Amino acid sequence: MEQSEMVALVERHLKAEGAGDAEGAIAVYTDDVEHDVVGFPTGVLHGKSAARGFYEELTANFRTEDEQPAHRFFSDDAMVLDQQMTGTVTGSFLGLPGNGRRITFRILHVFEFRDALICRENVWLDVAAIQQQLS
């Protein structure tokens, strides 16, 4: 897959996520996607249905306001995205009440691609920064 195609697919995913569109967020996934957000109690999820549940929960509790990419790294079938994310916690996040607070944290995504779709997403969050801002 070309790097520009990877970036476009990931941006489509993130735009849908930020808009609260769970269906749009998973539309770019393969049916057997592996979705792993390190630190979330759900653990590793498999398949679009499980990922949909994650995004429904996430978008009910967090609204993305800004995402600033710091670095992108590519291989033939993968992209690593290091970015700064800002959003408002409307519900709870990582088990902490948000009370409408705006937070900013670093997030690292590892995306793998197959058949022009995302077949794996692994996410690492700066949990310490999130906890500090919500405590």
Per-residue model confidence (pLDDT) at position 94: 87
Q: Which residue type sits at 2?
A: E
DSSP, residue by residue, the chain: --HHHHHHHHHHHHHHHHTT-HHHHHTTEEEEEEEEETT-TT-SEESHHHHHHHHHHHHHHEEEEEEEEEEEEEETTEEEEEEEEEEEESSEETTEE-TTEEEEEEEEEEEEEETTEEEEEEEEE-HHHHHHHH-
Q: Which CATH number fits domain 3-134: 3.90.260.10, 3.10.450.50, 3.40.640.10, 1.25.40.10?
A: 3.10.450.50
pLDDT in tens, the chain (135 residues): 999 999 999 999 999 999 999 999 999 999 999 999 997 888 899 999 999 999 999 999 999 999 999 999 999 999 999 999 999 999 999 889 999 999 999 999 999 999 999 999 999 999 999 999 998
- pTM score above 0.85: yes
